[in-house]
Amino acid sequence: MNVKTGSKITISWILSGTQPKSTFALGIKNVQTLTLNTINADLNLNSKSEDWAVDVETGSYYLYIEDQQLRNLTNSSIFPVVKSDSSDQTQASTIDIGGFKISIVTFTIAVVIVLLICVISIACIACNVCRPNCVCSNIRCCC
């Protein structure tokens, strides 16, 4: 998985076991420089996700969640952050609808299809007003 500088990503996690009553922080650590950057200093673990605009330099990183009372870190695996290509419009953007994460492009296509179905349905209703026994097919008004 390559994460691009300047992109927007959704970071998600799974909770298991008894959750401590501590405060938590979400951050990212550069493996080479050991630099820590805080993404959210007051993380709500129950949200199970956090949106983030990637604002770190290129390099190898891991994400961490820190129990701020015990100073324990839980780390992700290491991943690269690469330079964004200005001609590359691909982003890791997602929308959460009813618990399902889908890409912006998929959502846009679905909305266009729904609107097209509505236009066809309205055309068929208009045909049936003029011709009550009309069967609408392929957007043409019947019989």
Task: Give tens-digit pLDDT for 69-116.
Answer: 888 888 998 999 999 876 554 445 454 444 444 444 443 343 333 333
Measured CA to CA, the distance from residue 98 to residue 100 in angstroms comes to: 6
Confirm if 24 and 63 have CB atoms less than 8 A apart.
no
Six token digits for residue 24 = 């938590």
Task: Write down the pLDDT at residue 86.
Answer: 61
Measured CA to CA, the distance from residue 116 to residue 114 in angstroms comes to: 5
Confirm if 49 and 10 have CB atoms less than 8 A apart.
yes
Task: Look up the pTM and report it.
Answer: 0.59
Measured CA to CA, the distance from residue 136 to residue 116 in angstroms comes to: 15
Ordered domains of the chain (ranges, CATH)? 3-92 (2.60.40.2840), 98-137 (no CATH)
Q: Work out the average pLDDT over 120-138.
A: 55
**pLDDT for 32 beyond 60:** yes
Burial label for 40, CB within 10 Å (0-12, 13-18, 19+), is: middle
